[in-house]
Structure 1
């Protein structure tokens, strides 16, 4: 294992993850992620080829968007792989537990702005420490498009797939997943066709199954651990619900469900094995981290310079609080004084609020309701501010 990543597991945030999850880390077993780096969503790619046959990207995007709004039938006049992809996605697996998914959605909503901090400043930022994972972002122009677009698109996707009943066939979350699956395949096909310098031996296939699983774990394990660090009390059913929610999302995105974790212990053990196929931050990682740290400066969501600079400072405080110092330094995150002040205040506030918002209380449903409104409003503000770079 890469020396820096080894220290991450021995002394950094990885050790905290291990202690919190009760995981048993072991490299003396066959690492399935070596093979998964060579695997990808073949059905999605074949469907994408049919979608883009004779269509521009904009036309193909609108076509898929329309298809995702209505149930596809066996006798519909669609190309073979495209029809097969939709029919497969429409067949709800027997293992899906709607009650667990609802609990996961409830937590996502009631966690309010804590969720957005955990996802942005812990999950997304720490993901930049894995150099091979970042290569697909670089090759699809993430730096040229700017961090605001990735934040906007990721937030828009997350909000829509984590609402109650969003994953019902042709629901809004389901529609977003169909479009995201298409974009994954389009990006993979584009990289393989246009970038002959893609190092398949080192990086595996673009957007391979191993990297998709790691990203999925970012939305479940890292999200939950971030909430834990911010002082949120999470019930066992809520925790299991988040993993079940993202297991179903992963299935819809083309990941075989037997490769997706059911709980934090499995997720941590999987992530540990995946990191053994990675190397720690390189120059591209630092550029991506720097772009994210300065996202509020570049974004149109804040108008005044003092607002932009304060929000940047606030996010840097949370990054430094949530991610271990060595990883932050590797990503060249700004060093600031008293960075723990705001996060600790939020942590104490969360603990106080939760004393009156227990699972058995009617205030719990109010917290879900208010969190949903707050997250939706923030997502809409980002979409409005960056509408010039987002598909409508």
Structure 2
């Protein structure tokens, strides 16, 4: 009789997916060689020279710094090689789609995509090892929000845009986390895979692309096939910049859904760290406008349970409430909201403007919060 694996469900994945599961498991032990080598090269420079070199490469291009280490040149050779499948027209459609729906994207991220990411018992370990992983929840949500906003803005992934640069910085940050944790003597590679491995990067990428589409659809938003393909292509190129292996870059909905199910089947069940992270998301201080609304926590929990499913929500200790009637009421409203942007002159521009300003305000408020997280409602047991 074999013992249960603490972090993964390899047997279940093998039974359902066969050789694909065996192949997928290999990526738990793969990082991002180009970025990993670049981080090692930067570590050999003085801190000042490392910052100057990286900034020069980001802001002026690969040829601007002929004395840069070879590993950094190799990384920027890849970054500045535009894949043949990149179609800027279709990517712009994806950008515009997310921007005009940004008022709804934010709750889908916090109530659906992020809880699914946090459900991975091994995937959360890098956050746990860095410390204060609960109290830093507001800042982490702000950073995720900014990453999504800059990636999805019009032209956000063009070579010298802020979104492109942020994707590269996140890639190097992940490489630095891998380097530090694997050299710490505390990381159990054989049990957990390597930190920020290809499987976990792929899950994150798909939950930011297809995951957001699925969450919005569940809330009633209507997409055209062209819009869905644009969003997926946008995030596929973001994945290319961020160092996700080409095997995980999905440009079709069917492909992304199949891969997501394989990756989630491989993952273990949520553990206490997962529940603490989701609890921190749920109970972080609210904006002033909502702080006095006694119904807000219940409605948010109801939406989260609707998106995740009751069984999965129970495993994350997201409480049930009596507000279940809200979801079927919201769906036709959100359907009308999404369709009106297509047909009412000026509606899409207004929704984009209001959504962008709301996101920027939210990011600023979350970033400046310094008080510890205190639960106002449910407390994990």
TM-score by length of structure 2 reads: 0.85
Render the CA deviation track for 1:284-319: whole Å, top value 9, x for unaligned: 11111211111236xxx5498535x65444432321
CA 1:252–1:326 in 2, change beyond 3 Å: closer, same or farther?
same
Q: Match of 1:186, SS?
A: helix
Contact 1:220–1:242 under 8 Å retained in 2: yes
CA 1:130–1:144 in 2, change beyond 3 Å: closer, same or farther?
closer
Q: In structure 2, which of residues 301, 325, 331 is the aligned counterpart of residue 316 of structure 1?
A: 301
**What does residue 127 of structure 2 align with?**
137
Q: Match of 2:44, SS?
A: coil
- Aligned residue pairs: how many? 362
CA 1:43–1:153 in 2, change beyond 3 Å: closer, same or farther?
same
CA 1:26–1:260 in 2, change beyond 3 Å: closer, same or farther?
farther
Q: Take 1:69 and 1:385, find their aligned partners in 2: how far apart are those partners?
A: 31
Cα root mean square deviation, aligned:
3.0
Pairwise mapping of residues 200-279 of structure 1 onto structure 2 (< 5 A)?
200-279=189-268
Q: In structure 1, which of residues 27, 32, 36 is the aligned counterpart of residue 17 of structure 2?
A: 27
Matched, 1:48 2:39: yes
Q: Take 2:140 and 2:56, find their aligned partners in 1: how far apart are those partners?
A: 23
**What does residue 375 of structure 2 align with?**
none
Q: Match of 1:143, SS?
A: coil
Q: Take 1:198 and 1:165, find their aligned partners in 2: how far apart are those partners?
A: 39
Q: Match of 1:356, SS?
A: helix
Contact 1:73–1:87 under 8 Å retained in 2: no
Matched, 1:358 2:342: yes
**What does residue 280 of structure 2 align with?**
291
Shift of 1:144: 5.2
Q: Take 2:226 and 2:264, find their aligned partners in 1: how far apart are those partners?
A: 28
Pairwise mapping of residues 321-360 of structure 1 onto structure 2 (< 5 A)?
321-341=306-326, 343-358=327-342
Render the CA deviation track for 1:50-102: whole Å, top value 9, x for unaligned: 2222445x985676345422212176220110121122101211110101111
TM-score by length of structure 1 reads: 0.83
Q: Take 2:267 and 2:90, find their aligned partners in 1: how far apart are those partners?
A: 32
Contact 2:56–2:64 under 8 Å retained in 1: no
Q: Match of 1:358, SS?
A: helix
Shift of 1:215: 0.8
Q: Take 2:172 and 2:298, find their aligned partners in 1: how far apart are those partners?
A: 36
Q: Match of 2:96, SS?
A: helix
